[in-house]
Chains A and B, each alone.
Chain A
């Protein structure tokens, strides 16, 4: 059984480069150029509508929460506000970092900056880590956004439903970024020309947190932190739940997104919060397609993909036992059957990465 090293400086990172894995070409379903052009077309209207609904609801829920504070009657409003702050911000951050949410660049940038603050990510750093996540999705030692490392530490995954580990990691990093710029690991994927920006963003974020804490101390109440900061914890569960499903239990070190990503049909509220990223195979294969066109893209290519999971619960029922099995055997992963209409999985590359993904480990 192989032992994975997720460090960006470790032997697996080196092996991924030396073996040619990082330079290999990913599998893509064939889509006629005209159809793809139509799917890629940008528009402001859907994202403006969704952003008004999102920020409008946040103001409303937080307003009622503040009005009813400190009564327990305020709790449901905080829970609703928290999910929008601590989970919907993840999908807004994501889509706007691709620049596909809006047609107008400044709108993408504004929503990206606000979402980055709420989800506690440095907007200048994470743009680059996400580029790496797309080029080298789930390559061990290369992808800085692997949510489930093998062998999985189940307790840590559960703690993160409340953002605990993310937040504990975030603040020392924020202070370090504000004082000295990017860390050594961040410097591996952020180009030098952007290091100053990383520091500037960190100073702005840190100042907002310090001002919020000062206000809380002055008021003698945690209320300001209920609005800024804490919702990243009490509202994180939805983005962690959907985020785990993106790649959890599936293959790593492969060059076919049908093997390492999961598409899940979801209820409309979760799809609003998640901005259609439940079509995750589609998004990885064609990151140019905006979130609002992903359902259409799904219809176009679904015959070439493994059947989607039919609900969040059904997807968890598939993923969770696999994660538990990976605790004992980190080479284990789920390999879903393709429909007869699909091209076979692109597995040729696995043979060049000894020990990383023995096909026999799959089911």
Chain B
């Protein structure tokens, strides 16, 4: 699987996320409060709303449409109305660059 240079570490505030589009797919990249980076599919599994306008609280991302929540580290659906887990992607940081391994 290729590692793709997605963004700079400074592009995402701590406890926040950004949208990242690559090869016709859309992703969400997160900067956790502990300074780690994570990546998931960009669209909520409930109704295909992009998570980039959502709210990061600790390790959770809350969807902006119906307040469904996922743990963005594992993709696990944590709060209704989301029932289906979110796909996650491996992330590594080299220097000040964030790389995502897209499947």
Contact = CB atoms under 8 A, between A and B. Distances in A.
Interface of chain B, main secondary structure: loop
A232 interface: no
A37 B55 contact: yes
A100 B81 CA distance: 14
Given A37-B55, A42-B57, A135-B47, A288 B67 contact: yes
Interface string A285-301: 01110000000000000
B64 A287 contact: yes
Interface of chain A, main secondary structure: helix
Interface residues of B, number: 17
Contact of B55 (A40, A135, A191): A40
B82 to A, nearest CB: 10
Contacts, number: 42
Interface in A272-292: 286-288
A100 B67 CA distance: 8
Size category of the binding interface on chain A:
20 to 34
A247 interface: no
Contact of A99 (B46, B65, B67): B67
B62 interface: yes
Nearest to A97: B67
17 contacts: A33-B16, A36-B53, A37-B55, A40-B55, A42-B57, A98-B66, A100-B67, A127-B81, A128-B81, A131-B66, A135-B47, A135-B66, A191-B81, A193-B83, A287-B65, A287-B67, A288-B62
Interface of B: 16, 46-47, 53-55, 57, 62, 64-67, 69, 79-81, 83
Interface of A: 33, 36-37, 40-42, 98-100, 105, 127-128, 131, 134-135, 191, 193-194, 286-288
